[in-house]
Amino acid sequence: MQDRSLSRRTVLASATVVAASATGVVGVTATPAVAHRRDSRLKKIISRMSIEAKIGQLFVPYFHGTSATSPSQSDQDRNLAALGVRTVAELIAKYHIGGVIYFHGWTNNIQDPRQIAELSNGVQRASLALPTPIPSLISIDQEHGVNVRIGSGATQLPGAMALGAGGSLSDARTAGWISGTELAALGIHQNFAPVADVNVNPANPIINIRSFGADARDVGRMVAAQVTGYQQAGVIACAKHFPGHGDTGEDSHTGLPVITHTREEWDRIDAPPFRAAIAAGVDSIMTAHLQVPALDPSNDPATLSPAILQGVLRGELGFDGVIVTDALNMQGVRTKYGDDRVPVLALKAGADQLLFPPDIAVAYNGVLAAVRSGEITEARLDESVLRILRIKEKAGLLSGSPYVSRKEVDRIVGARRHRHAAARIAERTTTLLVNEDRTLPLRRSQRKLLVVGAGPAFPTDDTRTTVPELAAAFDDLGYRTTHLATGRTPDTAKIDEAVAAAQGRDAVIVTTENINATSPQRTLIARLLATGVPVIHLAVRNPYDIAHLADVRASLASYCWTEVELRAAARVIAGRVEPRGKLPVPIQRADDPTRYLFRSGHGLSYDGVD
């Protein structure tokens, strides 16, 4: 993959503001002398901490509610049932918690930017009230694309596979910088991104379009660019999921996947993006809950494997930053050991941050018992606390006020210049896969459009769904558009309704989501093609959908269904901008998976050039 836009660096990228801290610059390795002085200061802090406080620094739990001290009664009840406390402030006080993670939806942490900022300030007030007052490291999963936690009010950016299709290191870096700048303004210091997994398995149920692509070298370059962007913005990046989750057909949320790569295959396929992230100065790396027999014949999950975390990640790859476990409530890490033993074994394996324990009391007391018995030494505990304090200082938490201001939130989060840059980046990712008889771009005479098909609600707003949002994008471009959401499994009545709605239209845009050989979405498209009305297909999630649609004459991939991608796709279909994306993954033929329908790098322009 070549960087197709390095010569057109955006104003945002060229004007990047590097966040300073007491150790120098975020993303820049300190000299040995500076590092020694920093560690001496941090060790003095550690020497004043109790065993209980040290253990608390390791945990990154979830909680319910939009406020640190006064959440709704229902959220207090949920906290009491799940955590044994009513508020996150009480949680921090009880367990000396060193960090928390925000989620959208089920935890009700996120409403709008001002609320998030005040929640962050409340978390910090609770942390500074501890006997050893150390600010919290607040974390989030804001990958963009399909995995978004903060939606309303913040800038939405293309996800990893879309950026891979764009092929621009500058765009990847700028996207990380925009996201990091907005997170920092909200009081969020650690983002569990970018995904460093190489998606070589099209059937991967959990990584898929969250990966930059299928080529290890290209993925590594994009990962390094995103790490640089995030950390130049003052946010701790986290490459995940080590040692690589890209070639699995099982979801580690529900089972324990096995990676069958040989050691040579792991070195060639899985390792390069993590090596690239480390070379770029990534401050944290997240583990995967999967077995890799070539790296550890014990078949313990990587999260609990000293051979993988200490032997490979720390020893062979030379990583001395913070190792974060993937969520400890996932089934992949709970299949062999109880919830009291999992955090203990993770620490013994080499992990530092313990993310999302299913029961904080069980996990905390399990670690406390292991330290008191001598199974985990206090010196080992100090190693992890020191690494965590290093990234807290790097994020500026130990060298100034941890609080954020509403004024900065209003100025930075969702800024017009950020949204404009996101829109331009998205335009460079939309990929034209098929364009027979120059079906696209739409002609001037094609003004009456029908938008039908599948596509879920937006990741952070279930009132906004794909089909009406895409129709609105065409309306804003001057088209007369009607729409009908037919879903992933349209029945005969819904298909008949779509066919009837196509009558009298100049063109039909049909969206698909994760088609397989038996999908009723195929029937919908076949019936629409039979009407004789021009049909344009848009895959709004997996680009692999085209393998099941041999008869379509025009097909594009947007790699996600969020507003920024949908509006970019609409502009491409309308001919307002040229399609420039190139497939970052190969697409196999549905009738013969040993042959390729399209190879990586395929992507048409309107002059027919691939």
Active site residues: 253, 326
Does residue 191 sit in helix, strand or coil? strand
Question: Among 103, 101, 111, 104, which Cα is nearest to 152's?
Answer: 111
Orientation angle between helical segments 51-58 and 360-373, nearest 10 degrees: 130
Alpha carbons 512 and 521: distance in angstroms, whole number: 7
Note the Cα 405 to chain centre separation in Å: 26
Alpha carbons 332 and 253: distance in angstroms, whole number: 6
Burial of 377 (C-beta count, 10 Å sphere; 0-12/13-18/19+): exposed
Question: Within 13 Å, how many C-alpha atoms sit on residue 463's CB side?
Answer: 2
Residue 324, beta-bridge partner list: 286, 353
Joined tokens for residue 442: 């739409």
What helix, strand, coil percent values describe the chain, rounded to 5?
A: 40, 15, 45
Alpha carbons 200 and 219: distance in angstroms, whole number: 11
- Longest distance between any two alpha carbons in the chain, whole Å: 79
Note the Cα 283 to chain centre separation in Å: 16
Peptide bond into 243 cis (omega under 30): yes
Alpha carbons 459 and 370: distance in angstroms, whole number: 40
Joined tokens for residue 469: 């949002």
Give φ, ψ of 9 to 5 degrees: -60, 135
Contact 226, 172 (CB under 8 A): yes
Question: Among 466, 448, 439, 478, which Cα is nearest to 576's?
Answer: 478
Contact 405, 113 (CB under 8 A): no
- CA distances (Å), origin 570, targets 430, 446, 521, 532, 557: 10, 14, 21, 22, 11
Residue 514 backbone class (left: φ over 0; alpha: ψ -120 to 50; beta: rest): left
Contact 98, 394 (CB under 8 A): no
